[in-house]
Structure 1
Amino acid sequence: MTTPEERGTRRPTALEIATQWAQLPPAHLRVALEHLELELQREHARESARERHQAALERDRTAAASALEAARMREEHVTERARIAAQERREQRAHQLYVGGLVAGFVLAAGMLAGSVIVGLDGRQWLAGLLAGPSLIALPVVFVLRRSDRLPARPRMLPPEQLPEDRLA
């Protein structure tokens, strides 16, 4: 049996109700069983409603998680497409720069070679030699390969312990 304090804080179960009604005379047992059946039906209805509510909450949680995942996937897709587009633009600019250097190198080499022939036929062999010599190879290499094998023009700084005595002051 439950104490009065416990009864005030919670509802009695069907078994507790049946125990209380069992103490009555047998004539009242039918009434007790009807009340017991009604209480069991109410408990069942409450439990079913609670389970349906829990299932609906779980469906809502799952739907929200699916929506968040779909939004994240869309965002990743958009980001990836933007990254790919930017990479394609960089590659296209690099290709245009490479082709421009190739054309400029060819035009420069052809111009220097043609100039060398013209100047050589004019009797200035030293100028023809300059145009057709190492510069004919060096300048197109700079335009086509975009590099120069020359050392940097700016000297590197020496550490203080290696500086000459007159530079320390």
Structure 2
Amino acid sequence: LSALLGDRKITFTPKDRPGFVLASDIKVDDQNIGVFARLTPARERELDFTTPVFVAELDLGKLRKLLNGISHVEDLPQFPGSSRDAAMELPLTTPNALIEAVIAKLAEPLLVSSECFDVFTDPTGQKIAADSKSVAYRFHYREATRTLKTEEIDTAHQKVLEALTKGLGVKFR
């Protein structure tokens, strides 16, 4: 969705749905365009799945209308970027939107994008507290006019981590 919609605000708003866990409404600019959810583990077992099953439903009519006005295209970057990963532990009920809000509020100029690529929970509490989750993010840094030095990337990344610690009280793993 982000590749299609560019800078438009995409949010996932948690919503309880029978038969699903981790269910969310998908919104673009506060307009509901679909849903995303994971089947309950019990239902996954009933259907003989051995891995988690995620489903998404998008209203293609609404999505098409949102795409009609997009005409801005950016040049490909001339200078390389660099990425850093960070896994943070936070309460199970913390929505991803809060993490994204802290990152957006920081407005770090070298940070060109970030994305959540993993969420880990352990209901048994053996690897992580049962009421917590580990959320892993990848942060991409780039400057349009030159190649960044490692120290610059590390400094920018540290600012992001500090903002998340201060704003949400996360612990990094």
Q: TM-score, structure 1 length as denominator?
A: 0.19
Structure with greater Cα Rg: 1
Q: Larger relative CO (CA 8 A, sep 6+): 1 or 2?
A: 2
The answer to which structure has the higher strand fraction is 2
The answer to which structure has the higher helix fraction is 1
